[in-house]
Structure 1
């Protein structure tokens, strides 16, 4: 098992992030020492933590990450990522439309 500092270093998550994830039950330690409240993580926790790092990088919100970890099976991860790609592509289209509107507005001002 790994203490929180060691686990943070291994995963690329900060201790503060790990504490927050534990608080919202996104990634809970496998053991908390009752006397000193030290949190411990294991190898399975490492896999979930690395997944969360990628989900953050893929612009998943906390709610979306909770859904992936709790509400949907990790077996569905490929489908979830495909859905996210579609949503991100739509964001690009929407953003480009707003940029075009801004350009049109600026042209009216000239």
Structure 2
């Protein structure tokens, strides 16, 4: 079992983020000491924390992350990841198009 400070250091998540994730029932401590309210995490919590970090990095919202975590089989995770990837690809295309428009606009100003 790891204290919250140890777990934060292991995962790269701040103590505040861990407390928030617990509050929204995204990643709850494995054990909370009733005497001092210290939060303790275990190895299973570690793997879930790493998953949450990846999902956040992939642009998942808190609500989407909660949905993934509630589906303990992770059956829909692959579909959600594919949807995120498609959305990112569309954003890349939109940005590429905007860059081309800027180039065209700049070029038209030089022609005059």
TM-score range for the pair, normalised by the shorter chain length: 0.7 to 0.9
Q: Does 1:27 align with 2:27?
A: yes
Structure 1 portions without partners, runs of 5+ = none
Structure 1 residue 102 displacement after superposition: 4.5
Structure 1 segment 1-110 matched on structure 2, within 5 A: 1-71=1-71, 73-103=73-103
Number of residues paired by the alignment? 110
- Per the alignment, do residues 31 and 93 of structure 1 end up closer, same or farther by CA in structure 2, a change over 3 Å counting? same
Larger Rg belongs to: 2
Structure 1 residue 44 displacement after superposition: 1.2
Instruction: Give the TM-score of the pair, scaled to structure 1.
Output: 0.82
Question: Using the alignment, how far apart are the partners of 1:19 and 1:80 within structure 2?
Answer: 26
Instruction: Give the TM-score of the pair, scaled to structure 2.
Output: 0.81
CA-based RMSD:
2.0
Question: Using the alignment, how far apart are the partners of 1:41 and 1:24 within structure 2?
Answer: 16
